[in-house]
Amino acid sequence: MKAKWIIKIPEGAILRVKKGQTLSEGEVVLEWQRRKVEWWDMERMFLNKPKQLADFNQKWFNKKVERNQVLLKTGGFLGKKLLCPATGVCAGVDEFYNLKIETETEEKAVKSPVAAVVAELDKDKVVLEFTVAEFKGIGLVEGKVWGWLADKGEIKEGRVVMVEKLDKVAAIKASVLGVEGIVTKEAEKVDWEEIGLPVLVIKEKDWQKLEKYKGKRVLLNSKLGRILVMLK
Q: Taking the chain (232 residues) in consecutive chunks of 10 residues, what is each chunk's mean pLDDT? A: 94 92 95 88 91 95 94 77 93 95 88 95 94 95 93 86 91 90 89 83 95 95 95 82
Question: What local confidence, expressed as pLDDT, does residue 78 receive?
Answer: 65
- Backbone φ and ψ for 25, nearest 5 degrees, come out as -60, 135
Per the CB < 8 A criterion, the answer to whether 72 and 56 are in contact is yes
CB-CB contact of 114 with 230 (8 Å): yes
For residue 216, the 8-state DSSP code is S
CA dihedral over 167, 173, 176, 180, signed as positive or negative:
negative
Domain ranges of the chain: 2-27+112-231, 35-105
Assign domain 2-27+112-231 to a CATH class: alpha beta
Q: Are 102 and 37 in contact (CB under 8 A)?
A: yes
- The per-residue pLDDT for 76 is 63
